[in-house]
A and B are shown apart, each in its own frame.
Chain A
Amino acid sequence: MEQEKRRWEQIPKINQDLLAPLLTTHWTYFLLVGVLVCLVAAGAGAWTYQVQTGIGQTNMHPPIFWAVYIASFIFWVGASHSGTFISGVLRLSKAEWRRPVTRIAELMTFISLMIATLFVFYHLGRVWRWYYLIPYPNQRELWPNFRSPLMWDAIAVFTYATASTIYLYLPLIPDFALLRERIDGWRRPLYRVLSFGWTGTQNQWHVLETALRIITPLIVMVMVSVHSIVGWDFGVSLVPAWHSTIFAPYFVVGAVHSGVGLVAIGLYVLRKIYHLESYITPEHFDKIGKLLVVTTLVLAYLYFAELLTIWYANIPDHMWVVDALLSGPFAVPFWFMATCIYIIPLATLTSPAFRRWPLGVMIVGVLINIGMYIERVLILVPPLSYPRLPFNWGSYFPSWVEMTIIVGSLALAVLLYALAVKVVPVISIWEEKEGLVHGAHHGK
């Protein structure tokens, strides 16, 4: 009884700590936003230039018709698996340590998906005709071909984006109600609308928890389906080294790999800036590190299985690609990628002491994401560079327009995150309170 009383008494401190990022802003925040806005403007300028002068501003040309834009799309959709995997799976398994992590990860999902969608548009020639892609009865007599995996992709990403927005919003409702009462100014009307009449009656809690219980398993299934379908964009084609049954699970695991890596970065940065050390503890980095070891091992296993099958079959068309990767023109990025996503995580995160070192786990997260980005490019470019008729072989390096757009989009992602931090609490306040009061029953 006395213990429970003490726990309830810590609630005002949780409010104070977790509302602080929304209430106080250091001047460096504005500096960061300024720099990011400049980068985003550069990216927007590059895109405008590309729209005006044509898709030829990219270095894509036959046979390489998919390159960094599509690689970035895959990367960002993959990055979005952070939120759903961490938050969804941990919520399903009722892992107590999820509480300070879920919101950070869900915000990443939401923002990554927006960025991923942008890359679809960057990739379109005559982007102003994009609405041709929408299935609706029209005088053009055009109807999307649903047998195309790109169409499955569009539908899956739309479903995923809608679902993950809902999934981000659901646990935010009680927090918006709190913010409605604690924060003045331009944000208050926003919170009043977003809190949707939340007052915290027991029936409301019950409805919210029921909805979360229903939607969580659904969104985990959607998450698996989304990157499977992205994998099928490649797997169902006949291009050597794409035409493989392993692509769907490989893409899903790869996505979770980079997503969890991103969460490690987000946890570290937000913890450092907003002094959340008492919420995000080395314990959390330990768990994230363990998850990363699992994803590294599974991914390495799938990669090995894929390469072994191709190597043993020794079909020339396929071996051209594999040779180019292992010892040919793509060897340097390939081995750099392998070091970043397999060797370094395994060498470091298997040590319990290392896993409890937040900076270390964050650095590994950064390396994994760099490696996974290269991996996405390497999935696309080498197989396309070696079509079956050798007279048509090609090579590719991104143009400055492509690189500017990529950097601008990364800046946009960070910018959106930085802005989001000022509108929503990065740690779910009510869940943290719930963990404080009820968590003891689960042996926290």
Chain B
Amino acid sequence: MAPITVNEMTVLALFEPSGYPESLVDELRNAGVREDAVEVLSPLPLHEAALLRPARVPLHRIAIIAGLLGIGLGVMVAAGTALLYPIVTGGKPIVAPPVVGIIAFEMMMLVAIVTTFAAMLIRLRSESRNATERDPRIDDGLIEVVLSLTHDSARLEAVQALLQRAGALEIRYRHPTLSAPHGAEREGQATAAVLVATSLLCGVEACSRDMQEQPSYQPQEAPRLHSPVGSVSRDNRSVLKPLSTQQVFDEGARLFRINCSHCHGRDGTGNGPVVAYLKEPPADLLAPDVQALSEEALYDTVTNGLAIEGRDVMPPFKGEMSAEQRRSVVAYVKSLSQP
């Protein structure tokens, strides 16, 4: 639609449908009114096509193209993602043509229908007249003819005479500038509001999910960082209990022989029988840096094993030994440096 300039003018004429002359559009054309300046508003589709040539709408073509795109989308989803995320099921192909066919069919329909609908809405909007031009009496069975004319008094009079001759019940004139295009500004605001609300909602995605996904320690998980020297585990305060009784020491020695000595050696110097097969030599437990570790740190290593730069060098023993047993092993290791 051409932009409305100040010297344009709208003429609204109401007709009884039964008295509406089918030749009106032709007569108006003869009077010098452009065909695209004439609109006929009616409460139901008027199939007497003599009124106006309907605009050509490429909806069919849009539907077909959208349908083809939909097929592509369906193939991409059903075949493409099956290749990307292959799930092997006994005796079944990763890409199954009948399945791709079914999904492609549904996608074709979905995309074709939604696109046709969207195209139709856009077209409806562009064909819309200012709502204030629409006389409510149309819905009670009248037909309204809307003419957009340039402000030319001689032509206006001619058109008015023509309309009256054709049997118009009522003729009104409106200056488009007097009523600003209704709601255009508010619609803009509404669209902006929706966009802002959507982007705010997207921001929710960035919110912390600590409550939902906590950094809990999972079974079989590789060990995390050691606790700092001197720190006390919440669950194992008792580790600091004096552990120097002979009984505990003997138990620790026994368990050390069973669980540790094949790598760390009977004497703990790291010369066990399997050392030749290990990539990382086991630690010498008598070395000052090991002996400098707190009981808590040793306990943590025995419990969770040890990883250096992401490679597991010592397995965890929490499955092999109870907390009590592990403590006794720690006590034994600590005692190794004592003469």
Residues of A within 8 A of B (CB): 1, 4-5, 8-9, 11-12, 15, 135, 141, 143, 145-147, 152, 155-156, 158-159, 162-163, 166, 170, 173-174, 177-178, 180-182, 192, 196-211, 214-215, 218-219, 221-222, 225, 229, 430, 433-434, 437-438
Report chain A residues within 8 Å CB of B154. none
Cross-chain contact B77 with A210 (CB below 8 angstroms): no
Report chain A residues within 8 Å CB of B55. 203, 206-207
Known: A146-B82, A199-B129. 18 other contacts (CB 8 A): A8-B16, A135-B81, A143-B84, A143-B87, A146-B99, A147-B82, A147-B92, A152-B103, A159-B110, A177-B134, A181-B136, A199-B130, A203-B39, A205-B45, A206-B45, A206-B54, A208-B120, A219-B109
Cross-chain contact B140 with A15 (CB below 8 angstroms): yes
Report chain B residues within 8 Å CB of A9. 141
In the bound assembly, the distance between CA atoms of A225 and B106 in angstroms comes to 8
Cross-chain contact B116 with A147 (CB below 8 angstroms): no
Q: Nearest Cβ distance between residue B170 and chain A, in whole angstroms?
A: 17
**Which of A162, A201, A221, A229: most chain B CB closer than 10 A?**
A201
A156 is contacted by which of B18, B106, B141 (Cβ under 8 Å)? B106
B255 within 8 A of A: no
Q: Which of B52-86 contact A (CB under 8 A)?
A: 52, 54-55, 57, 59-60, 63, 77-78, 81-82, 84-85
A-B contacts, 28 listed (Cβ < 8 Å): A4-B18, A5-B16, A12-B140, A135-B77, A135-B81, A146-B82, A147-B92, A147-B99, A152-B102, A159-B110, A178-B43, A181-B139, A197-B124, A197-B131, A200-B43, A201-B39, A201-B40, A203-B55, A203-B127, A204-B124, A206-B57, A207-B59, A211-B59, A214-B63, A219-B109, A225-B109, A433-B43, A437-B17
Cross-chain contact B99 with A201 (CB below 8 angstroms): no
Q: Is the interface of A mostly helix, strand, loop or mixed?
A: helix
Report chain B residues within 8 Å CB of A208. 45, 120, 124
B141 is contacted by which of A11, A159, A163 (Cβ under 8 Å)? A11
**Which of B44, B105, B112: most chain A CB closer than 10 A?**
B44
Cross-chain contact B77 with A146 (CB below 8 angstroms): yes
Report chain A residues within 8 Å CB of B92. 147
Residue of A nearest to B125 (CB): A197
Q: How many A-B residue pairs have CB under 8 A?
A: 183
Q: Nearest Cβ distance between residue B239 and chain A, in whole angstroms?
A: 36
A155 is contacted by which of B89, B107, B112, B114 (Cβ under 8 Å)? B107
Top 10 closest pairs, chain A to chain B, by CB:
A11-B141, A197-B128, A143-B85, A206-B54, A5-B18, A205-B45, A211-B120, A159-B110, A203-B127, A199-B129
Q: Which of B125-158 contact A (CB under 8 A)?
A: 125, 127-131, 133-134, 136, 138-141, 146
B33 within 8 A of A: no
B41 within 8 A of A: yes
**Which of A162, A198, A203, A437: most chain B CB closer than 10 A?**
A203
B222 within 8 A of A: no
Report chain A residues within 8 Å CB of B131. 180, 197, 199
B46 within 8 A of A: yes
A430 is contacted by which of B40, B43, B109 (Cβ under 8 Å)? B43
In the bound assembly, the distance between CA atoms of A181 and B136 in angstroms comes to 7
